[in-house]
């Protein structure tokens, strides 16, 4: 376990190798091999570390490794007197980070493998570049996960943002891609603004940035009734989380981020990076637990995001965008869980979501790949026949996300809903409604894509629609086809995960022991210092089972409805769209949020910038130039005065002198000897005077 620092470093090494050497020299295979092998080793190390962690007693499962000094201690005053600002390069392994570690390395490895096939059409340097970015991402993500202090986490936090930027903009020649990348980075930066301020406040309050020390210190403080300093910290941190995890109001970047290659969407924008916000909130569970007001905010933001994203997801036609909104929605669920104090449930959902959402994205990637870069579901249909593996695996993913037992999503989602119900029925209502919509739009996706009749272009000639001239498909398209094994194999592995991952969290009501919750518990309680107050009221198993049945029934109904609308009677969907034309338009346009932001924040900033530039040129520089002009003008006035008045006098004097000197200038013969003679006269006079004076 002392080698956990190697885990992030290995992909970092791969990234360096691919980036510095690979782009120029590696073949596609070598580049892929380097990336995959570093990830594989990292995965093995993670498993070893995780097993090591399991081998420890439950309350000693915390292992910190300091690699090197980063910022050496510098004295700085804090709320409690003079502290020492110090951040080492230190990594910590505890149950929460252990779980994340497995998710990141495991799914990361699968997606690396998948990418080998997916990216094969790119030019050689492009492949190495892609793997360089991907490895770099894993490096930063693992740093984020393992970082033992806020600032080290922030390194990973920002780093994954960079990689996301690079990967979204991977096809940088496409304007929309580079726009999306920029948008992602800047929106994330807004969140980071809050995050970094939160970090500063953490230091100011606690005098340290180490997670564990902070948690222990916070555990000793009373739960805040009003809005105190802990609440402020948590609010700032949560702003950071909304940026990274795409919550209201900063969720707008995530759908756009689908411009990136699909494995990227799967890895970064579904399984790992976007969950960093949830991870961060879970990491600081103790802090949040002491700030109930913020918890309430988190829960509401979470549920609203979930609901809003789900509604938008209902009407999207781009296969990846549906998944993107689904991701936003599921992330909302996780925040809902953390907001009601069910950190373990949130983390559990995070993990299961990682499986099935990665699966869905990779499946969609496979579809897009097979359809020659076509993403519009209206131009698909009936693909089941052409790509059975993809269909079946994706169907498993959809069932899982819809919350049908006994697949993974059922357990995690149900746990969340159950805990929400305990907390507030209003939240539960919205959450449950969202769950229904989730089931509906997921099966809408499955149905439109794989079932029904084929609506896509004829093959034998290049696909219609926009020419994806940047896609790199040089060859003619021969119709929808199944993807190569490197792509389907990860699908299958993930499908297995999506089926079985839930069993580690079987709730007590179903006879399980909720292994995951007990495993994660130490991470959320500052090691026994704090216990959730929620234990107090608690429904009977029967009620819990009732809730489960209700949600399963609702989900099943939604699935059937989707089947009716999109397979049996495809016209019904259009009719519904016509019936609810107003809401449909609003949803299609994503509530006009982008437009709103564009009109206010972006435009405001740009106008402000241009305005200020004008100010800079006209006023600030104008003041300088004005000072210059004033000087010149006053000098001109002086000049006039000078020329005619002062100079007139001077000239008069000069004229008199000139006239007079006309006589005297005859003395200036230019003959040296005359001057010498004058000198001699002077000497004569001097000597004479000398003699007489004596």
Partner 1 sequence: MSNAADTPSLLSLILFTPLAGALVLLFVGKRQVDLIRWIANATAFLGFLVSLPLWFVYDSANPDWQFVEQMEWIPSIGAQYFLGVDGFSVLLVLLTTMMGVIAVLSSWNAIQTRVKEYYIFLLMLQTGMIGAFVSLDFLLFFLFWEVMLVPMYFLIGIWGSDNRLYSAIKFFLFTLVGSVIMLLGILAVYFYHQDVTGVYTFDITQFHELNIPSDLQWWIFLAFFLGFAVKVPMFPFHTWLPDAHTDAPMAAVLLKMGTYGFIRFSLPILPEATQAFVPAVVLLSIVGIVYGALVAMAQRDWKRLVAYSSVSHMGMVMLGMFALTPVGITGSIVQQLNHGISTGALFLLVGVVYERRHTRMIAEYGGLSKVMPVYAAIFLVMTMSSIGLPTLNGFIGEVLILQGIFVVNKTWAFFAASGIVLGAAYMLWLYQRTMFGTVDNPKNENLPDISAREFATFVPLLLLAVWIGLYPKPFLDRLETSVDKVMMRVNADYTPRFAIAAAGDADAQRLTVDAAAPGVEATGTLVLPDVPVRGGAR
Partner 2 sequence: MAEALLFYTLAALILGLGVMVVSARSAVHSVLFLVVNFLLVAVLYVTLNAEFVAVIQVLVYAGGIVVLYLFVVMLVNLKQAPERFSDPRRLARSGLVLGGVVLALIVVVVSSSLRAGAAPEGTLSGFGTPFTSGNTEQLGWVLYTSYLIPFELASMLLLVAMVGAIVLAKRHLGE
Partner 3 sequence: MLEITPLHYSLLSAALFMIGVIGVLVRRNVIIIFMSIELILNAVNINLVALSDQLQDLAGQVFVVFVIAVAAAEAAVGLGIIIAFYRNKETVNIDEIQIMRW
CA distances from 423 to 97, 300, 338, 477, 505 (A): 27, 12, 12, 54, 20
Q: Which is nearer to partner 2, 175 or 673 (CB)?
A: 673
Collapsed DSSP state (helix, strand, coil) of residue 147? strand
- CB contact at 8 A, 484 and 370: no
Q: How far apart are CA 572 and CA 589, in angstroms?
A: 21
Binding-site member from 68, 536, 663, 691 for partner 2 (CB under 8 A):
691
Binding-site member from 1, 52, 124, 125 for partner 1 (CB under 8 A):
125
Verify binding: residue 58, partner 2, rule CB under 8 A.
no
CB of 663 to partner 2, least distance (A): 20
670 binds, among partner 3, partner 1, partner 2, none (CB under 5 to 8 A by kind): partner 3
The alpha carbon of 351 is separated from its chain's Cα centroid by a whole number of angstroms, namely 18
Token pair for 266 = 């799967």
Q: How far apart are CA 57 and CA 55, in angstroms?
A: 7
In the region spanning residues 614 to 673, those forming contacts with partner 2, defined by CB under 8 A, are 673
- Assign 3-class secondary structure to 35-99: HHHHHHHHHHHHHHHHHHHHCCCHHHCCEEEEEEEEEEEEEEEECCEEEEEEEEEEEEECHHHHH
CB of 663 to partner 3, least distance (A): 13
Q: Which is nearer to partner 1, 429 or 608 (CB)?
A: 608
- Which residue matches tokens 């994330």? 188
Binding mask 617-656 for partner 3 (x = CB under 8 A): ----------------------------------------
Collapsed DSSP state (helix, strand, coil) of residue 237? helix
Verify binding: residue 688, partner 2, rule CB under 8 A.
yes
**Piece of the chain touching partner 2 by CB under 8 A; list 249-257, 335-343, 447-455, 680-688:** 680-688
In the region spanning residues 5 to 24, those forming contacts with partner 1, defined by CB under 8 A, are 19, 23
Q: How far apart are CA 184 and CA 177, in angstroms?
A: 10
Verify binding: residue 332, partner 1, rule CB under 8 A.
no
Verify binding: residue 683, partner 2, rule CB under 8 A.
yes
Q: Please state the φ and ψ torsions of residue 223, each to the nearest 5 degrees.
A: -65, 130
Collapsed DSSP state (helix, strand, coil) of residue 246? coil
Q: How far apart are CA 127 and CA 165, in angstroms?
A: 17
Q: How far apart are CA 409 and CA 350, in angstroms?
A: 10
Judged by CB under 8 A, the number of residues near partner 2 is 11
- CB contact at 8 A, 369 and 118: yes
Q: Which is nearer to partner 1, 151 or 340 (CB)?
A: 151
Give the chain's end-to-end CA distance (angstroms, integer).
109
Verify binding: residue 674, partner 2, rule CB under 8 A.
yes
Binding-site member from 624, 653, 676, 685 for partner 3 (CB under 8 A):
676
Binding-site member from 82, 225, 536, 672 for partner 3 (CB under 8 A):
672
Q: Which is nearer to partner 1, 512 or 622 (CB)?
A: 622
**Piece of the chain touching partner 3 by CB under 8 A; list 72-80, 173-181, 581-589, 670-678:** 670-678
Verify binding: residue 660, partner 3, rule CB under 8 A.
no
- Which among 489, 491, 305 is positioned nearest to 397, based on CA atoms? 491
Binding-site member from 3, 71, 680, 685 for partner 3 (CB under 8 A):
680
- CB contact at 8 A, 102 and 40: no
Q: Please state the φ and ψ torsions of residue 147, each to the nearest 5 degrees.
A: -50, 135
Q: How far apart are CA 506 and CA 551, in angstroms?
A: 16
76 binds, among partner 2, partner 3, partner 1, none (CB under 5 to 8 A by kind): partner 1
Verify binding: residue 600, partner 1, rule CB under 8 A.
no
Judged by CB under 8 A, the number of residues near partner 1 is 67
580: CB partners within 8 A, 6+ apart = none
73 binds, among partner 3, partner 2, partner 1, none (CB under 5 to 8 A by kind): partner 1
CB of 622 to partner 3, least distance (A): 50
Q: Which is nearer to partner 3, 500 or 675 (CB)?
A: 675
Verify binding: residue 591, partner 2, rule CB under 8 A.
no
Q: How far apart are CA 11 and CA 41, in angstroms?
A: 9
Q: How far apart are CA 590 and CA 593, in angstroms?
A: 6
Q: Which is nearer to partner 2, 632 or 681 (CB)?
A: 681
Q: Which is nearer to partner 3, 582 or 690 (CB)?
A: 690
Q: Which is nearer to partner 3, 568 or 674 (CB)?
A: 674
Verify binding: residue 179, partner 1, rule CB under 8 A.
yes
CA distances from 484 to 113, 156, 368, 497, 656 (A): 11, 33, 13, 21, 107
Q: How far apart are CA 587 and CA 592, in angstroms?
A: 8
Q: Which is nearer to partner 2, 660 or 683 (CB)?
A: 683
The CA-CA-CA angle for residues 299, 322, 304, to 5°, reads: 20
693 binds, among partner 2, partner 1, partner 3, none (CB under 5 to 8 A by kind): none
**Piece of the chain touching partner 3 by CB under 8 A; list 155-163, 433-441, 632-640, 671-679:** 671-679
Verify binding: residue 673, partner 1, rule CB under 8 A.
no
Buried/exposed 196-222: b ≥16 CB within 10 Å, e otherwise: bbbbebbbbbbbbbbbbebbbbbbeee
Binding mask 81-120 for partner 1 (x = CB under 8 A): xxxxxx----------------------------------
Residues in contact with partner 2 by CB under 8 A are 673-674, 677, 680-681, 683-684, 687-688, 690-691
Residues in contact with partner 1 by CB under 8 A are 19, 23, 68-78, 80-86, 125, 151, 154-159, 162, 165-166, 169, 172-173, 175, 178-179, 181-182, 185-186, 189-190, 192-193, 196-197, 200-201, 203-204, 206-208, 605-606, 608-610, 612-613, 616, 620-621, 623-624, 628
Residues in contact with partner 3 by CB under 8 A are 665, 668-673, 676-677, 680
């Amino acid at each position: 376990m002392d080698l956990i620092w190697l885990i992030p470093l290995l992909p970092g090494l791969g990234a360096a190798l691919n980036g510095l050497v690979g782009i120029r020299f590696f073949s596609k295979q070598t580049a892929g091999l380097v990336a995959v092998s570093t990830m594989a080793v990292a995965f093995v190390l993670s498993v070893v570390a995780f097993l090591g962690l399991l081998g420890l007693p439950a309350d000693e499962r915390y292992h910190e490794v300091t690699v090197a000094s980063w910022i050496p201690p510098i004295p700085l005053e804090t709320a409690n007197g003079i502290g020492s600002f110090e951040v080492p390069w230190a990594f910590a392994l505890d149950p929460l980070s252990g779980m994340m570690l497995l998710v990141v390395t495991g799914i990361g490895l699968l997606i690396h493998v998948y990418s080998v096939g997916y990216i094969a059409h790119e030019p050689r340097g492009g492949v190495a570049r892609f793997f360089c970015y991907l490895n770099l991402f894993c490096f930063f993500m693992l740093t984020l996960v393992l970082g033992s202090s806020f600032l080290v986490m922030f390194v990973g936090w920002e780093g994954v943002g960079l990689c996301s930027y690079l990967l979204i903009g991977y096809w940088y020649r496409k304007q929309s891609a580079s726009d999306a990348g920029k948008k992602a980075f800047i929106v994330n930066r807004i969140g980071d603004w809050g995050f970094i301020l939160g970090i500063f406040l953490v230091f100011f309050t606690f005098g340290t940035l180490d997670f564990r020390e902070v948690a222990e210190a916070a555990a000793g403080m009373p739960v805040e009734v009003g809005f105190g300093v802990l609440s402020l910290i948590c609010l700032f941190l949560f702003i950071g989380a909304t940026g990274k995890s795409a919550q209201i109001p900063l969720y707008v970047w995530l759908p756009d981020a689908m411009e990136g290659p699909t494995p990227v969407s799967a890895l970064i924008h579904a399984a790992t990076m976007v969950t960093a916000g949830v991870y961060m909130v879970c990491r600081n569970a103790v802090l949040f637990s002491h700030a109930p007001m913020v918890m309430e905010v988190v829960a509401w933001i979470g549920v609203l995001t979930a609901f809003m994203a789900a509604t938008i997801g209902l009407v999207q036609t781009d296969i990846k965008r549906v998944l993107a909104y689904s991701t936003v929605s599921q992330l909302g669920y996780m925040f809902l869980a953390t907001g009601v104090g069910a950190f373990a449930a949130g983390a559990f959902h995070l993990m299961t979501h990682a499986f099935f959402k990665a699966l869905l994205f990779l499946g969609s990637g496979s579809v897009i790949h097979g359809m020659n870069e076509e993403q519009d579901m209206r131009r698909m249909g009936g693909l089941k026949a052409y790509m059975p593996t993809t269909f079946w695996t994706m169907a498993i993913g959809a069932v899982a996300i819809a919350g049908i037992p006994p697949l993974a999503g059922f357990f995690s989602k149900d746990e969340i809903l159950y805990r929400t119900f305990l907390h507030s029925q209003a939240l539960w209502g919205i959450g449950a409604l969202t769950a229904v919509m989730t089931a509906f739009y997921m099966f809408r996706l499955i149905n439109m894509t794989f079932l029904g009749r084929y609506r896509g272009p004829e093959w034998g000639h290049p696909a219609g629609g926009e020419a994806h001239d940047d896609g790199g498909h040089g060859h003619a398209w021969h119709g929808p086809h199944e993807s190569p094994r490197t792509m389907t194999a990860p699908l299958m592995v993930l499908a297995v995960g999506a089926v079985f991952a839930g069993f580690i969290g079987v709730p007590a009501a179903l006879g399980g022991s909720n292994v995951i919750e007990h495993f994660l518990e130490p991470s959320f309680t500052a090691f026994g210092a704090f216990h959730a107050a929620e234990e107090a009221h608690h429904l009977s198993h029967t009620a819990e089972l009732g809730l489960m049945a209700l949600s399963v029934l609702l989900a099943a109904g939604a699935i059937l409805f989707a089947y009716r609308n999109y397979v049996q009677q495809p016209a019904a969907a259009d009719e519904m769209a016509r019936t609810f034309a107003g809401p449909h338009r609003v949803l299609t346009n994503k509530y006009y949020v982008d437009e709103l932001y564009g009109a206010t924040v972006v435009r405001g900033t740009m106008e402000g910038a241009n305005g200020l530039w004008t100010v800079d040129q006209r006023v600030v520089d104008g003041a300088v130039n004005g000072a210059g002009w004033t000087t010149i003008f006053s000098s001109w006035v002086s000049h006039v005065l000078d020329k005619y008045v002062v100079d007139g006098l001077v000239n008069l004097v000069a004229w008199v002198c000139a006239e007079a000197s006309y006589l005297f200038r005859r003395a200036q013969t230019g003959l040296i000897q005359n001057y010498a003679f004058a000198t001699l006269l002077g000497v004569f006079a001097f000597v004479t005077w000398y003699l007489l004076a004596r």
